[in-house]
Amino acid sequence: MSLEELAFLALAVVALATAVAALLVRELVHTILWVSVFFVDLSAIYFLLEAPFLGVLQLGVYAGAVTILLLFGIMVTRKRIFSRDAATGLGPIPLALAAVTFIFLIASVGEFPNSPTPLQTYAPALLSAQLFGPNGPWLLLLGLIMLSGVAGAIYLVREGRE
Amino acid sequence: MTALPVEGFLVLSGGLLAIGIFGLLTRRNFILILIAVEIAMNATILNFVYFAAFAPTAAGLSGQAIAVVLIGFAATEVAVGLAIVLALNRIQGTINVAQATELKE
């Protein structure tokens, strides 16, 4: 087993463990801590996949901005930020539904070639050429949705709306 | 040049999606529901990045480009979600979705 495979296995185990921990711990603030570890872990996987731009984006947007936004959300919605009303029970039906989803996803995967495919390395400049070339409409759509999202968010939180 | 197991990635992203769905169905706190959606979305983004990494030509970078767009979508979704959390908290005094029945003041 190569070093990269070992690194991937370790990162995958940490990703699954932190995702479960984030949803099962009782303190909401601990949830945010676990989920930030999860985001940093995924960013490490992106670096392992030779996608450094996405790794940095994941660190900046998810581990940075989204985590702080969620913490801010907790801060302003409760008097004491440490409070134990976060988790509820496991629930056998949702657990079974999640298990069925997982088994269905794994079972629906077809055959893959046995020979390991080498990982390609590209310069980030090529990614920008893809992003602003053939995928330009998606980027434009993202801009429009972000704009309408911000407008909607401001409308929702403004004082005294009728 | 390295090679990573495709089965491992599929199990990881499938597992993350299942965890996200489980969180979505069991949690009652709006912020935890947002986090569950983020976990499920990250599973999708991981697949895009993984399969883009093995494309033989530079056109395969489309997967990474779509991943960039998806990360932007996810950030917008959190921003709007938190605006709803703040509005819910102001109007109903709780962010428990089981008690949230309306957003009107």
d(CA B10, CA B48): 11
Q: Which residues pair with residue B29 across a beta bridge?
A: B96
* Alpha-carbon dihedral angle through residues B73, B75, B77, B80, given to the nearest 10 degrees: -130
User: Is residue B38 in some structural domain?
Assistant: yes
Query: Could you give the 3-state DSSP secondary structure of residue A20?
Result: helix
Residue B104 forms part of a structural domain: no
Give me the percent of chain A exceeding a pLDDT of 90: 35
B82 CB neighbours in chain A (<8 A) are 69-70, 72-73, 153
Phi, psi of B10, deg, nearest 5: -65, -40
User: What secondary structure letter does DSSP report for A121?
Assistant: -
- How high is the pLDDT of residue A99? 85
Q: Which residues of A touch B37 (CB under 8 A)?
A: none
Question: What would the 3-class secondary structure string for B2-16 be?
Answer: CCCCHHHHHHHHHHH
Whether B15 is in a domain gets the answer yes
How many domains, in total, are found in chain B?
A: 1
pLDDT in tens, B47-82: 888 888 777 777 778 888 889 999 999 999 999 999
CATH of the domain at B74: 1.10.287.3510
Using a pLDDT cut of 70, give the percent of chain B over it: 93
Neighbours of A58 (CB within 10 A): 27
Best of B80, B92, B95 to disrupt the A interface (most A CBs within 10 Å) is: B80
Is B12 a member of any domain? yes
Which residue range forms the structural domain that includes residue B53?
7-92
Residues A137 and A72 grouped into a single domain: no
Tell me, what's the pLDDT at A112?
Answer: 66
Give the model confidence (pLDDT) of A68-81 as tens digits: 988 888 888 876 65
Q: What is the pLDDT of residue A108?
A: 79
- How many Cα atoms are found within 13 Å in the side-chain-facing hemisphere of A125? 1
Which residue is associated with the tokens 């947007």?
Answer: A61
Gap between the terminal Cα atoms of chain B: 59
pLDDT tier at B1, thresholds 50, 70, 90: very low
- Contact between A127 and A53 under an 8 Å Cβ cutoff? The reply is yes
Q: What is the residue whose two structure tokens read 């983004």?
A: B45
> Which residue among B18, B86, B87 sits closest to A101, beta carbon to beta carbon?
B18
pLDDT, tens digit, 9 for 90 and up, residues A138-155: 889 999 999 999 999 888
pLDDT of residue A146: 92
In a domain, B70, yes or no: yes
Do residues A23 and A77 both lie within one domain?
A: yes
Provide the ipTM.
0.90
Whether A93 is in a domain gets the answer no
Question: What residues of chain B, 17 to 76, have a C-beta less than 8 Å from chain A?
Answer: 17-23, 25-29, 31-32, 34-36, 38-39, 42, 46, 49-50, 52-56, 58-62, 64-69, 71-76
In a domain? residue B2: no
Residue B52 near residue B61 (C-beta atoms within 8 A):
yes
Contact between B19 and B38 (Cβ < 8 Å): no
Do A15 and B5 make contact, defined as CB atoms within 8 angstroms? no
Tell me the backbone φ, ψ of residue B96, rounded to 5 degrees. -80, 120
Full domain range(s) for residue A140: 122-162
Q: Is residue B66 part of a domain?
A: yes
For residue range A45-99, what is the model confidence (pLDDT) as tens digits? 999 888 888 999 999 999 999 999 888 888 888 766 565 555 556 677 878 888 8
Number of domains in chain A: 2
| B97 vs A: CB within 8 A | no
Is A99 inside any structural domain?
no
pLDDT at B91: 82
Binary contact (A15, B16; C-beta < 8 A):
yes
State how far residue A42 is from chain B, nearest Cα, in angstroms.
8
The answer to whether the Cβ–Cβ distance between A77 and B95 falls below 8 Å is yes
